[in-house]
Amino acid sequence: MTGKLPFEALSVDTLAARLGANDALCSHIGKDTSRWKVREVGDGNLNLVFIVEGAMGAAVVKQALPYVRLVGDSWPLPLKRSFFEYHALTRQEARAPGSVPAIHHFDEGQALIIMEYLSPHIILRRALIEGRQLPNIARDIGLFMARTLFRGSDLHMATKDRKADLALFADNVELCDITENLVFSDPYFDAKMNRHTSPQLDSIVAELRADRDLKVEAQRLKHIFAANAETLLHGDLHSGSIMVTETETRMIDPEFGFYGPIAFDVGMLLANFWMAFFSQRGHEQNGKRDTMRAYLLDVTVDTWSVFRTEFSHLWRTERTGMLYQKSLFEDQGDRLGAEQALDHMLHQVWTDMLGFAGVEVHRRILGLAHNADFETIADEDLRATCEAKALKFGRHIAVNRRQIHSIDEVNKLAALIEQENRI
Q: Which residues bind ligand SR1 (CB under 6 A)?
A: 44-46, 68, 70, 178-179, 182, 236, 369
For residue 313, which amino acid is it? H
Between residues 255 and 310, which has the closer beta carbon with respect to ligand SR1?
Answer: 255
Residue 46 CB, shortest distance to Mg ion, in Å, is: 6
- Contacted entry of ligand SR1, Mg ion, none for residue 376, CB cut-off 5 to 8 Å set by kind: none
Nearer to Mg ion (CB atom), residue 253 or residue 352: 253
57: left (phi over 0), alpha (psi -120 to 50) or beta: left
Partner that binds at residue 182, options ligand SR1, Mg ion, none, CB closer than 5 to 8 Å by kind: ligand SR1
* 258, 292 contact by CB (below 8 A): no
68 contact, one of Mg ion, ligand SR1, none, CB 5-8 Å limit per kind: ligand SR1
- Tell me how many residues contact Mg ion (CB under 5 A): 2
The counts of H helices and E strands in the chain are 15, 12
Contact at 8 Å (CB) between 235 and 373? no
Pinpoint the alpha helices (H) of 198-260: 202-209, 212-227
Q: Which does 200 bind (CB under 5 to 8 A by kind): Mg ion, ligand SR1, none?
A: none
The amino acid at 46: L
Residue 204 C-beta: closest distance to ligand SR1, Å? 22
Residue length of the chain: 423
Applying CB under 5 A, the span of 92-100, 246-254, 277-285, 411-419 interacting with Mg ion comes to 246-254
178, interface contact from ligand SR1, Mg ion, none, CB < 5-8 Å by kind: ligand SR1
Q: Do strands 249-251 and 242-244 pair parallel, antiparallel, or not at all (unpaired)?
A: antiparallel
One character per residue 305-344, x = contact with Mg ion (rule: CB under 5 A) = ----------------------------------------
Instruction: Tell me which DSSP letter residue 11 carries.
Output: -
Question: Judged by CB under 5 A, which stretch of 38-46, 54-62, 120-128, 173-181 contacts Mg ion?
Answer: 38-46
Q: Which does 300 bind (CB under 5 to 8 A by kind): Mg ion, ligand SR1, none?
A: none
Q: How far apart are the first and last CA of the chain?
A: 57
Nearer of residues 72 and 199 to ligand SR1, judged by Cβ: 72
Query: Which CB atom, from 79 or from 294, has the smaller least distance to ligand SR1?
Result: 79
Cβ of residue 372: shortest distance to ligand SR1, in angstroms? Answer: 12
Distances (CA, A) of 155 to 170, 192, 263, 342, 415: 19, 41, 15, 11, 36
Minimum distance of Mg ion from residue 292's CB (angstroms): 25
**Residue from 44, 142, 321, 355 in contact with Mg ion (CB under 5 A):** 44
Using alpha carbons only, what angle is made at residue 166 by residues 45 and 306, rounded to the nearest 5 degrees? Answer: 70
37 strand-pairing partners: 53
* Contact yes or no for 115/59 (Cβ under 8 A): yes
Residue 321 or 355: which CB sits closer to ligand SR1? Answer: 355
CB 83 within 8 A of CB 46: no
**C-beta of 395: minimal distance to ligand SR1 in Å?**
20
**Based on CB atoms, which residue is closest to ligand SR1, 184 or 329?**
184
Q: Which is nearer to ligand SR1, 265 or 310 (CB)?
A: 265
Is the link from the previous residue into 120 a cis peptide, with omega within 30 of 0?
yes
Nearer to ligand SR1, 29 or 49 (CB): 49
Using CB positions, name the residue nearest to Mg ion: 253
What gap in Å lies between CA 326 and CA 319, rounded to an integer?
A: 7
User: How near is the Cβ of 54 to ligand SR1 at its closest, in Å?
Assistant: 29
Task: Determine if 265 is a binding residue for Mg ion (CB under 5 A).
Answer: no
Smallest distance from ligand SR1 to CB 219, Å:
18
Residue 214 contacts by C-beta under 8 Å, 6 or more apart in sequence? 188, 208, 395, 398, 399
- Selected binder of Mg ion within 253, 265, 310, 387 (CB under 5 A): 253
How far apart, in Å, are the Cα atoms of 357 and each of 8, 138, 168, 237, 266?
38, 16, 27, 11, 8
SS (H, E, C) 310-362: HHHHHHHHCCCCCCCCHHHCHHHCCHHHHHHHHHHHHHHHHHHHHHHHHHHHH
Among Mg ion, ligand SR1, none, the one that 70 touches (CB under a kind-dependent 5 to 8 A) is: ligand SR1
Site for Mg ion, rule CB under 5 A = 44, 253
